[in-house]
A and B are shown apart, each in its own frame.
Chain A
Amino acid sequence: MQRGKISIQNLNLHFGKHHILKDVNIEIPENQLTVILGPSGCGKTTLLKTLNRLVELDDMVKIDGKIFIDNEDIFHTSTDVTDIRRKMGLLSQRPSPLPMSIFKNVAYGLSLNGVRSKKQQIPLVEKNLREANLWDEVKHRLKDPAIKLSIGQQQRLCLARGLAVNPQIILADEPTSALDPISAKVIEQQFLELKQNYTVVMVTHVLRQARRLADYVVFMYLGEVIEQGPVHEFFENPKMEKTREYLKGAFN
């Protein structure tokens, strides 16, 4: 069974008059960690938010092209946008816990997936918190407001909450950029474990992080995909001039 394979075909995206994504074609393999790499403002985050159609919350946006998730067209009129989003958990740059307790943050995700009774939720909340490596730190304070946790803990809570929806794909937008080095390391470790069971798509502009984590790399520059390929090929034998410049640090 194919799970979480993403195919982006001829994707163009405009914000008003600005052409943000230009003819993007990417094949994201399932059960691997794909890193979208590129300097700030190249459209990485927009691309990520297009995958779960979150970008449509903005009123100026116009999208052309197709995105298939396991051969399902996500822009098709018969596709329910909430179904698409439930297939994907999103971690943003800064964690955004919901205004409720630690327990309820995870339980909210469960309830979206149909698990509504508290009796069923209790063991699953524990499972998801363990999966996000947070259980031991919060098991005595599940009723505390989520906002009381440290930023690193909040990010792992958001991960647990995302996992509670039982997605196939995890989208991450520079998930470690707001964290201290130790929390960042914990999250990175998490991602290496997660890719066993999920397709992970991560946006970053940190080359070393891409090198440590990625199986597959997509390099974007000014809204265009310059090069994509398996991580070793990409870093050791880049084909495009732009990629070589970027890897040398020309854009920083």
Chain B
Amino acid sequence: MWKKIEAQIFHGLMVLSVISLGVILFLIIFSIVYRGLPHLTWELVSQTPQGGFYIGRDGGLLNAIIGSLYLSAGAVILALMLSLPLAIAMNIHYRKNKKLVNSIRFVLDLLWGMPAIVYGAFGFTLMIFFGIKASLLAGIITIGLFILPILTRSMDEVMKNVPITLLEAAFSMGSTKAEVSFRVLIRQTLPGIVTAVLLGFGRGIGDVAAVLFTTGFSDNIPTSLTHQTATLPLAVFFQLGSPIEQVQNRAFATALLLTIIILLVSLASRYFGNRFKKSIIK
């Protein structure tokens, strides 16, 4: 009797949370689409700002679209170069040193939880120290640091769960650590690595706090790492702050654009993740 009631209570709670999640998601997407879709024109995605109300009337936001893509791609490449070797070292080379590996995990978890604005401030401090001006490069470094713990821990989590029998099989054949890492471990965890990369890309492209001080803003498409650059989240931020309704509407169109890009990235991550899954060992 009691068991039945308990089951019903938990079933009710589950239904309630699913419904509220669904409603919240719907409202967010609805508000963006409702206000943004009518203003999401071809002009907006194909042109740079052409003046009027400051990024509000004529032209589009191609500068911010390209800027955001450059920034996130650069940051992902930078973060990947550091995180992949780190994740491999944690799970192959220093596997036996559990104390060290667990301390690294702890530090990375702390860094993951740190607000982006702290990274922004840190990036800004670095820029002053090295005498770099606000630029695409400074933004890439800041976002790269911001997503580094995300990439490393996501990959680490996948690599940690690789069956030990698989590693034993590879080692028992006389493979070196490098051979196990690059020919077995990476292949086995490729879907997870792809997911980690795209997760980092999504976080990087959507973040505003880390780039607020570091990338500056520009109406032009950046052609050098030293140029200042616009980004989509920053464009939303500036446009929403405008008192003019026409500019605010463009903020929603920009937000919609950003949402679409992130949706495409998620779909791509699922697609590629599944493609690489067919030969991995369960």
A residues sitting closer than 8 Å to B (CB atoms) are 52, 54, 57-59, 82-90, 92, 94, 96-101, 108-109, 112, 145-147, 158, 161-162, 165
Contacts and interface: CB of A to CB of B under 8 A. Distances in A.
Nearest to B280: A99
Given A59-B96, A59-B98, A108-B183, A90 B172 contact: yes
Given A96-B163, A147-B282, 15 more contacts: A54-B172, A57-B96, A57-B168, A59-B95, A59-B96, A85-B173, A86-B174, A89-B173, A92-B168, A98-B166, A98-B169, A145-B278, A145-B279, A158-B169, A165-B173
Interface string B171-206: 111111001000110011000000000000000000
B174 A165 contact: yes
B281 interface: yes
A40 B163 CA distance: 22
B89 interface: no
B170 interface: yes
Interface of B: 95-98, 163-176, 179, 183-184, 187-188, 278-282
Contacts of A109: 173
Contacts of B281: 96-99, 147
Contacts of A54: 168, 171-172
B73 to A, nearest CB: 28
Given A97-B281, A147-B282, A57 B171 contact: yes
Most chain A CB neighbours (cut-off 10 Å) among B166, B171, B173, B278: B173
B169 A90 contact: yes
A54 B171 CA distance: 7
A82 B174 contact: yes
B6 to A, nearest CB: 39
Contacts of B172: 52, 54, 85, 88-90
6 contacts: A59-B97, A85-B172, A96-B169, A98-B281, A147-B279, A162-B173
A83 B175 CA distance: 9
Contacts of A85: 171-174
Contacts of A158: 169
B156 to A, nearest CB: 17
Given A85-B174, A109-B173, A112-B173, A96 B279 contact: no
B174 A83 contact: yes
Contacts of A161: 173
A65 to B, nearest CB: 21
A54 B95 CA distance: 14
